[in-house]
Amino acid sequence: MAGRTIMIEGRKVYYKSTGNGLPVVFIHGACEDHSIWNQQVKHLSRLCKTVVLDLPGHGKSDPLREALIDSYSRFLSSFLEAVGIEKAVIVGHSMGGAIALKFCLMQPAKVLALILVDTGAKLGVHPVFMEAIRKD
């Protein structure tokens, strides 16, 4: 599965898509990239269309100005439109799950099903990490 880069809202976004049929979009967590879904894609792409992406600020994608769940959820809507997906099964891990939940609330007509992996509606971040982000 060869990766592609597209421009969305003036920023480069990296993604991979393989298979045909029902679209299943996988959203990784913080400090991860599309590759966390390699095993799932390997097996599911025989049954459906799988789409994995590097969220802005991760992997090979340019950053967002605001790395907030709401911003990522709006980005997901733009991404789906850019790759021609009207409705999809949305799968999210950790922060990706929070993004998926918010997206589902914002755009319910675009969600065929929601799969959440090790996530919650509100995710806490350890203060040590927040301080490191502020300093860097």
For residue range 2-26, what is the model confidence (pLDDT) as tens digits? 799 999 989 999 999 999 999 999 9
Q: What is the rounded distance in angstroms from the CA atom of residue 43 to the CA atom of residue 34? A: 15
Is the pLDDT at 128 greater than 90? The verdict is no
pLDDT at 132: 66
Structure tokens at 113: 């099903």
Is the pLDDT at 112 greater than 90? The verdict is yes
Q: Could you tell me the pTM of the whole model? A: 0.88
pLDDT at 130: 60
Res. 123 pLDDT band, cuts 50 70 90: low
Output the CA angle 18-117-80, nearest 5 degrees: 40
Find the helix or strand (DSSP H, E) in which 14 lies. strand 11-18
Find the helix or strand (DSSP H, E) in which 93 lies. strand 88-93
Question: Is residue 57 a contact partner of residue 133, using CB atoms and an 8 Å limit?
Answer: no
Is the pLDDT at 126 greater than 80? The verdict is no
Structure tokens at 26: 């996988």
Find the helix or strand (DSSP H, E) in which 103 lies. helix 95-106
Structure tokens at 73: 């959820």
Q: What is the rounded distance in angstroms from the CA atom of residue 61 to the CA atom of residue 70? A: 18
**What does pLDDT average to over the chain?**
91
- Longest Cα separation, the chain: 45
74: nearest Cα among 50, 17, 65: 65
Is the pLDDT at 65 greater than 90? The verdict is no
pLDDT at 35: 97
